[in-house]
Amino acid sequence: MQMETNFGYIDENYKRILYEIGEAKAKYRKPDEQITFMAVTKTVAPEAVNHAIDCGISVLGENRVQEYLSKKELYSQSAQVHFIGHLQTNKVKYIIEDMALIHSVDSIKLAAEIDRHAARIGKIQDILIEVNVGEEDSKSGIPPKHVRPLLQEIAILPNIRVKGLMTIPPAGNSEKFLYQMQQLYLDISAEKLDNIDMEVLSMGMSGDYMTAIRYGSTLVRIGSALFGARHYT
């Protein structure tokens, strides 16, 4: 009973976000389109994460390898885990078995390392290409003009399956960049490249998820709007 009191705010936030996702979908999207509500778990206690899973969350987004490794045994096993943060090649081996989807692939070097470790454990690893749509120096990802060449390089790797694109648009005028990502996603989808699927467009966070849904996002990554402001230690 005490835990319900502690985490009641998560229930309320979850219901509100779900309602707003539904409103945006009804306004901008077809009824049969699916939008995944991911809970971003950076700095969030495992007990709070598990409460969100009890509310109905089925996908968790992890940003940091070390933090994930310290918490993973405490998580409910009923939710999928995706890796959404910057991933160093020397850390791939620690998470390859657990990740349903890796969102942050932005180089052939990283893709090749994921492919190597996936082959080692007999897995086909689903990934997204991270696009630095605003071409900001402070962010990971590749510029839009480099997406197709990278896709061509990755397409030949046997233990990787590209499932779509991910982005974090510049703060402020995100709508312009969300539109650009939608167009890139649709253009690549129409090209029907060999061994490349465009099923997932991962964009939209706590501050802009309704706008991202307007521009075609199939997966929104929500942390603070669900769990409250982060408290770093």
Per-residue pLDDT tens for 61-104?
A: 999 999 999 999 999 999 999 999 999 999 999 999 999 999 99
- The two structure tokens encoding residue 7: 């985490």
- Provide the whole-model pTM: 0.94
pLDDT surpasses 70 at 5 = no
Render pLDDT for 38-63 as a digit per residue (tens, 0 to 9).
999 999 999 999 999 999 999 999 99
Task: Give the whole-number percent of the chain exceeding pLDDT 70.
Answer: 96
Residue where the block lists tokens 């885990």: 81
Instruction: Check residue 233 and give its pLDDT.
Output: 38
Instruction: Check residue 2 and give its pLDDT.
Output: 38
Instruction: Check residue 171 and give its pLDDT.
Output: 86
Q: How far is CA 172 from the centre of its chain?
A: 20
Whole-angstrom Cα distance, residue 141 to residue 150? 11
203-229 burial: b if 16+ Cβ within 10 Å, else e: bbbbebbbbbbbbbbbbbbbbbbbbee
Domain range annotation of the chain? 2-227
**Cβ contact 168:134 at 8 Å:** no
Task: Give the whole-number percent of the chain exceeding pLDDT 90.
Answer: 92
**Cβ contact 77:46 at 8 Å:** no
Whole-angstrom Cα distance, residue 136 to residue 150? 19
User: In one letter, which amino acid is 162?
Assistant: V
Give the confidence band of 230 by pLDDT, cuts at 50, 70, 90.
low
Name the fold adopted by 2-227: TIM Barrel (3.20.20)
**What residue spans of the chain are helical by DSSP H?**
2-6, 8-28, 46-55, 65-71, 92-95, 108-120, 147-154, 174-191, 209-214, 224-227
**Cβ contact 222:206 at 8 Å:** yes
Mean pLDDT (the chain) is: 94
pLDDT surpasses 70 at 227 = yes
Mean pLDDT of 203-207: 95
Whole-angstrom Cα distance, residue 60 to residue 221? 9
Q: Which residues contact 51 (CB under 8 A, 6 or more apart)?
A: 3, 7, 10, 11
Instruction: Check residue 172 and give its pLDDT.
Output: 82
